[in-house]
Structure 1
């Protein structure tokens, strides 16, 4: 797996998992600016970014990859942070390897998406969509109705990290079509149990995901004003919640 690290190499580890179609470098701002005293690790998981695109792309394989990657990095237990599909993977990891997940941070987690909605979202993330320029890709992302207050500068960084040449002078996002299809199928399956460790859940008030967070002692729930992409629409509020939780 391809990983990127920020912060203090000797600090407590925080392993960050992106959403479907994303990549681990999305956590740079959080790692550099707000968690500088931690060892922050962003992972590109299978089928995304610079990691292998070889199948299988099942939840079981992703969890196995994450365990192997943590072992290779010398990380036994850690705080695990996941956005969207990454939140589902954190919960799956906590259920299967509870000793690995000391704390869980779930950012608008896609623990379960009803099949019709999952199919609709899969259609929106087709990989045959290409762009003539980075600006065109940014305009398309800002115009799809899912972002509300995301600064354009965030998406300029995203295009620099995640757009690749698709040929004939066109650009596309860097993820494997099959991995995306399988991920949406996995999100339509039964949800994993909520983590038993101390857990922070941050949800977007205007998110397209409908999630009922249980009112139990080990789970803290914070609602931020924007949509599903809480680290883009509401970076400060989300980062503040994460820092308070870890501190």
Structure 2
């Protein structure tokens, strides 16, 4: 189990602002929230960690939802927050709310990857192993455009490449992440559906071009939460906060 010092945590906004914990998706990093925080939500106090195995945080195992939940609970250090979570971050946020209800005031789930099909996760894990790096930055940029970043502002994509790409020993470039952890986390996403406490205010934002939110999860979430659930459907691909920053900020403000 890691201590707070083992996670790189990016902090945005005023110390007295409403507290938001922002959890990125698999293969991502905490600075993906920077533009949303500084340009759209300057009044919010946002904590955005690099999750274990990602960015500049520790890469040590165990690589499981339980470990990542313990990591982010330590980041909050007893302070309750609204938790905004994208993709892989969503099951982490839901488990955090179940295990530490005193820390979670509400959830904003951005295109959550919960209870994903096992064959899909196996395919993605194998593809990750088969293509762990790129010849150069341009090849990485084109890969992003083909995998959910086509509707993101080119300036944000350029910032992503500048922050998240690092050279490897073979003269190629790779994402700043720990490959064994990433492959393990693809498997974690195939675990059974997890749901938040029945009384917890929750917002679901589904990216209608992505096909990530399963009908089973959305139905189970609706049945569990009833009128505690608010649903938004965004006409975008998977990178919700980057593709629709103003709309995402409006959803978060309403949840606050």
Same fold (TM over 0.5): yes
Tell me if structure 2 keeps the 8 A contact 1:224–1:238.
no
Aligned length: 242
What SS does structure 2 have at the residue aligned with 1:104? Answer: strand
Aligned to 1:237: 247
Aligned to 1:162: 164
Q: Which residue, out of 114, 118, 139, partners 2:117?
A: 114
Are 1:60 and 2:66 an aligned pair? yes
CA distance in 2, matches of 1:222, 1:205: 10
Aligned to 1:30: 36
Q: Which residue, out of 84, 98, 103, partners 1:95?
A: 98
Question: What CA deviation, in whole Å up to 9, does each residue of 1:81-127 have, x standing for no partner?
Answer: 11000011000100111111011111001111010111122234337
CA distance in 2, matches of 1:95, 1:86: 14
Unaligned runs of 5+ in 2: 1-6
Tell me if structure 2 keeps the 8 A contact 1:21–1:125.
no
Aligned to 1:49: 55
CA distance in 2, matches of 1:148, 1:21: 17
Are 1:226 and 2:236 an aligned pair? yes
Superposed CA RMSD in Å reads 1.7
What SS does structure 1 have at the residue aligned with 2:140? Answer: helix
CA distance in 2, matches of 1:210, 1:18: 16
Q: Which residue, out of 12, 16, 20, partners 2:22?
A: 16
Tell me if structure 2 keeps the 8 A contact 1:127–1:173.
no
Question: What CA deviation, in whole Å up to 9, does each residue of 1:52-89 have, x standing for no partner?
Answer: 10111111111111112221xxx521111110000110
Q: Which residue, out of 129, 132, 135, partners 2:135?
A: 132
Question: What CA deviation, in whole Å up to 9, does each residue of 1:189-232 have, x standing for no partner?
Answer: 11211343111111101112133251611111111001121122
Aligned to 2:178: 176
Aligned to 2:227: 217
CA distance in 2, matches of 1:235, 1:157: 15
CA distance in 2, matches of 1:218, 1:159: 38
Unaligned runs of 5+ in 1: none
Between stretches 19-28 and 225-234, larger displacement belongs to 225-234
Residues 7, 124 of structure 1: alpha-carbon distance in 2 compared, 3 angstrom cutoff: farther
TM-score by length of 1: 0.92
Q: Which has the larger helix fraction? A: 2
What SS does structure 1 have at the residue aligned with 2:116? Answer: coil
Tell me if structure 1 keeps the 8 A contact 2:165–2:175.
yes
CA distance in 2, matches of 1:179, 1:132: 23
Tell me if structure 2 keeps the 8 A contact 1:95–1:192.
no
CA distance in 1, matches of 2:8, 2:130: 21
What SS does structure 2 have at the residue aligned with 1:136? Answer: helix
What SS does structure 2 have at the residue aligned with 1:154? Answer: helix
